[in-house]
């Protein structure tokens, strides 16, 4: 496979991975600043779990009318 085709496929995947990790780290930092007493217990897994539950609630229609 030519290199330019690999680049066309790999570049968007790389950008998505970098963007997602940057967003997760920013959210984690914001949560640690917002709740300093729980800072040591706020990890990436907790941020992902919170995001997953919010997406599930959105999908179920819990945020309609807000």
Mean of pLDDT values over 1-27: 88
| pLDDT of 2 strictly over 80 | no
For the segment 51-61, what is each residue's pLDDT rounded down to a tens digit?
A: 899 999 999 99
Helix/strand number for the chain, H first, E second: 2, 0
Full-model pTM: 0.69
| pLDDT of 1 strictly over 70 | no
| pLDDT of 65 strictly over 80 | no
Residue 27 and residue 7 in contact, taking contact as beta carbons nearer than 8 Å: no
Mean of pLDDT values over 5-11: 85
């Amino acid at each position: 496979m030519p290199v330019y085709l690999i680049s066309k496929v790999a570049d968007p995947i790389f950008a998505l991975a970098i963007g997602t990790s940057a967003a997760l780290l920013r959210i984690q930092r914001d949560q640690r600043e917002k709740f300093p007493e729980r800072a040591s217990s706020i990890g990436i897994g907790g941020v992902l779990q919170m995001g997953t539950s919010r997406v599930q609630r959105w999908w179920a229609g819990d945020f309609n009318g807000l």
